[in-house]
Structure 1
Amino acid sequence: MRRFPDGWRLLLGATLLCAAQLTAARDALPIERLSLLPGFHVEVLSDQVPGARGMVLGPKGTLFVGSRAQGNVYAITLDPSRAYAAKVRTVASGLDMPVGVAMRNGTLYISAVSRIVKLDDIEAHLDNPGKPATVYDKLPSDTHHGWRYISFGPDQRLYVGVGAPCNACQRDENRYAIIGSMKPDGTDWRVVARGVRNTVGFDWQPGTRSLWFTDNGRDSLGDDVPDDELNRLSTVGEHFGFPYCHAGDIADPDFGREKACRSFAPPKAKLGAHVAALGMRFYIGKQFPAEYQGSIFIAEHGSWNRSSKVGYRVVRITLDAKGEVAKQDVFAQGWLSDDDAVWGRPLDLLTLPDGSLLISDDYAGAIYRITYRKP
């Protein structure tokens, strides 16, 4: 039998132990409880991503993931099959709720409440990324709805969600309850949409390049109102109702007398009250059946103060030939059990180049991968 030097035996043992730990980690979460449509399959890419929130893929295939309370941004090196995480690194730490991550020309942009920061050429420096440089530092510092989703649009501008610093209140409509955008160097800040209570997910429709986004409805009006919203921006500066009107037709009890609901852009779809609709993406892959092309997937993070829980699932929105919402279906569920026990909370979504769909889960600290094989 071949004998290895002591150093090699230690290295081999550590490698086998690491592989065993990765396998055990991928098997630890009860994904057998998840229910998907026939042909769809779910696996755990990693459960070593504490507080996993926003996701973006680097040009060399590294998956970057933000977090909230943890203050970290992670870089996940995928194995060649993309079936699991080969390595998880922390490339930024000590940041203020770095939920949002975006990528442009190899540079990673990160939201940090009042600031947008960046790490240049990040995939060449995963083991030594350095300190993030500040791009923009004039965003509100309020932490209530202060975690910011960010993404680059087809116009190569960085879009930033800025939530209301309250449940329902009137604040400067040029600073709060808006979606804004800027050039990649942090200049030329513009307000794109107003009256948006808190969006933590937006994307651009392929072909039309129109901006769609989720928005969370206010609390304290009961278990069943108002609905969270799916909206589409038609004109720059369009107003979507907050704080005067919710879900297109519910006047706010405190501010609704000031401006009528008909004054604002109505939602394209009502998503249910308190479901906490966060991440949303158009499906741009080709692995799923053809009818999924152009569908919108929405991660429902789940209610936090409803008398019985709702959400905790991923839904699919189908659009008709005119780009209007035709129907809503449940795509994946099972993170919430019949007795209201929760073991996971879907948050963001991302299509990989092979057409599989990733889902982040901050509650379980996990990333799931959904694939399709014809039954």
Structure 2
Amino acid sequence: MCLRFLKSLLAGVLFSASCAVFAVDNHQALLDKLHLPEGFSVSVYADGLPNARSLALGDNGVVFVGTGKEGKVYAVTDSNADGLAEPHRLIDSGLAMPNGVAYKDGALYVAAINRILRYDAVVQHLGHPPAPVVVYGKFPEDKHHGWKYLRFGSDGKLYTAVGAPCNICNPGQDIYTSLVRLNPDGSGLEILARGIRNTVGFDWQPETGALYFNDNGRDHLGDDVPPDELNRWTTKGEHFGYPYCHGGDIPDPEFAAGKKCADFTAPVWKYPAHVAPLGMRFYQGGQFPAAYQGQLFVAQHGSWNRTEPQGYRVVLLKFDKQGQVVAEEDFISGWLDKDGTVSGRPVDILAMPDGSLLISDDKQGLIYKVSYKPTH
């Protein structure tokens, strides 16, 4: 009995070690391409996660991973703290673009296209995940900009968004192009803002509690127009311009007649066009240098319809003491080669308890871990 247990334990250790070696060797060429500021390093945290997109941290260090077209939700854990997660656990499959994941009070919440699902006591049952409970099932079923980001606010409510079912149009229902929140049980849905084409990332500024969100601009106006946006929501009923105005001051050639851009809320920062800013996190950890505290990391998924591709990086947005964005600079680059070859597409960013950051990549189907150690 004891001998059998020791053999099993040894086999598990060897399996874990062999997986770690495989992950490092398999992706070393990719990691070698990536450029970070001095003192920072990047490694592969989890592999074998096709179309890995949004991330959420559960209890006991469990990280939940949503996907898009893959239709699956995963859980990964680095239980031995060696910097590499063990092989993933499948939480569910056959879902309609379950991009958004959030965790609260022992339950995992998953946002598919038209509904939000809840998996109770999921961390205690990773081997045999529970059947989901439908929390809310009345969102539109459009696939175009249908995938959703999902987070809990400090008010304990679920926040998500409903994108435009098109590149450029004026949908007839208020629920489209909206930022919304609802109670964890699915009641009390509120439309907080409209005029938002497609946001798949938002976070709250730690000093002010203000909600910031990214918005991907419309296509087919040119390589450099309109800019993608970082917006700040402050008042229920705000309108951020779509489809009438873009970037705060660019009238839409099809829908701007009779409208003034000044009547809509302008972005607080303009990204380059088509970089597709998605997941974002204000840094609050204790591992990175003090200069990063309260600053905003943003995953730019990358352009798909620009003559010369751009994006495919993680940037740092710098805020001044007055709370204004004053600069955008590369934090991780190298996924886009000079010849236009793309080797990775960052999607979401998650802060870990030790102050490191996890970054998902839906092209490679993996999660990176970014750490910092002083060089002197």
* TM-score when normalising by structure 2: 0.96
- What is residue 118 of structure 1 aligned with on the other side? 118
SS in 2 for 1:60: helix
C-alpha change, 1:194 and 1:60, in structure 2 (3 Å) is same
Where structure 2 has 5 or more consecutive residues not aligned to the other structure, the ranges are: none
- What is residue 79 of structure 2 aligned with on the other side? 79
Deviations, residues 47-89 of structure 1 (Å, cap 9, x unaligned): 2111110001012210001001111111001134361102311
Q: Equivalents in 2 of 1:363, 1:270: separation in Å?
A: 25
- What is residue 157 of structure 1 aligned with on the other side? 157
Q: Which amino acid aligns with 1:332?
A: I
Offset of residue 305 of structure 1:
1.3
Residues 163 and 176 in structure 2, CA contact (< 8 A), matched pair in contact too:
yes
- What is residue 278 of structure 2 aligned with on the other side? 278
Offset of residue 98 of structure 1:
0.3
Q: Equivalents in 2 of 1:13, 1:125: separation in Å?
A: 23
Where structure 1 has 5 or more consecutive residues not aligned to the other structure, the ranges are: none
- What is residue 28 of structure 1 aligned with on the other side? 26
Q: Equivalents in 2 of 1:248, 1:82: separation in Å?
A: 47
C-alpha change, 1:13 and 1:58, in structure 2 (3 Å) is closer
1:306-325 residue pairs with structure 2 within 5 A? 306-325=306-325
Q: Equivalents in 2 of 1:310, 1:339: separation in Å?
A: 12
C-alpha change, 1:33 and 1:215, in structure 2 (3 Å) is same
SS in 1 for 2:341: coil
Residues 26 and 45 in structure 1, CA contact (< 8 A), matched pair in contact too:
no
2:192 aligned with 1:192, yes or no?
yes
Q: Which amino acid aligns with 2:205?
A: Q
Count residues in correspondence: 372
C-alpha change, 1:82 and 1:99, in structure 2 (3 Å) is farther
2:249 aligned with 1:246, yes or no?
no
Deviations, residues 176-212 of structure 1 (Å, cap 9, x unaligned): 0111000000000000111000000000111311100
Q: Which amino acid aligns with 1:106?
A: G
Offset of residue 258 of structure 1:
3.1
2:170 aligned with 1:170, yes or no?
yes
Q: Which amino acid aligns with 2:90?
A: T
Offset of residue 7 of structure 1:
9.1
Offset of residue 27 of structure 1:
2.9
Q: Equivalents in 2 of 1:155, 1:82: separation in Å?
A: 35
SS in 1 for 2:60: coil
Offset of residue 328 of structure 1:
1.0
C-alpha change, 1:207 and 1:18, in structure 2 (3 Å) is closer
C-alpha change, 1:15 and 1:212, in structure 2 (3 Å) is same
Deviations, residues 254-312 of structure 1 (Å, cap 9, x unaligned): 00113111110110000110001111111110110101000001000000111111000
Offset of residue 174 of structure 1:
1.8
Q: Which amino acid aligns with 2:105?
A: N
Q: Equivalents in 2 of 1:293, 1:257: separation in Å?
A: 43
Q: Equivalents in 1 of 2:4, 2:92: separation in Å?
A: 35
- What is residue 47 of structure 1 aligned with on the other side? 47
Q: Which amino acid aligns with 1:21?
A: C
Comparing 67-76 and 167-176, the one that deviates more: 167-176
Offset of residue 374 of structure 1:
0.9
Residues 41 and 370 in structure 1, CA contact (< 8 A), matched pair in contact too:
yes
C-alpha change, 1:294 and 1:82, in structure 2 (3 Å) is farther
Q: Equivalents in 1 of 2:8, 2:109: separation in Å?
A: 39
- What is residue 302 of structure 2 aligned with on the other side? 302
1:225-236 residue pairs with structure 2 within 5 A? 225-236=225-236
Residues 227 and 270 in structure 2, CA contact (< 8 A), matched pair in contact too:
yes
Q: Equivalents in 1 of 2:17, 2:291: separation in Å?
A: 38
Offset of residue 14 of structure 1:
6.6
One of 4, 17, 20 as aligned partner of 1:19:
17
Offset of residue 132 of structure 1:
1.1
Q: Equivalents in 2 of 1:135, 1:26: separation in Å?
A: 40
- What is residue 106 of structure 1 aligned with on the other side? 106
- What is residue 132 of structure 1 aligned with on the other side? 132
SS in 2 for 1:28: helix
Q: Which amino acid aligns with 1:306?
A: R
Q: Which amino acid aligns with 1:251?
A: P
Offset of residue 5 of structure 1:
6.8
SS in 1 for 2:359: strand
Offset of residue 237 of structure 1:
1.7
Q: Equivalents in 2 of 1:27, 1:293: separation in Å?
A: 33
Q: Equivalents in 1 of 2:20, 2:167: separation in Å?
A: 41
- What is residue 202 of structure 1 aligned with on the other side? 202
1:337-348 residue pairs with structure 2 within 5 A? 337-348=337-348
Q: Equivalents in 1 of 2:173, 2:193: separation in Å?
A: 10
Q: Equivalents in 1 of 2:148, 2:363: separation in Å?
A: 18
What is the percentage of aligned positions where both structures have the same residue?
A: 50
Comparing 24-33 and 40-49, the one that deviates more: 24-33
* TM-score when normalising by structure 1: 0.96
Q: Equivalents in 2 of 1:270, 1:252: separation in Å?
A: 17
Q: RMSD of the alignment, in Å?
A: 1.6
Residues 16 and 86 in structure 2, CA contact (< 8 A), matched pair in contact too:
no
C-alpha change, 1:212 and 1:39, in structure 2 (3 Å) is same
Offset of residue 20 of structure 1:
1.0
Residues 230 and 271 in structure 1, CA contact (< 8 A), matched pair in contact too:
yes
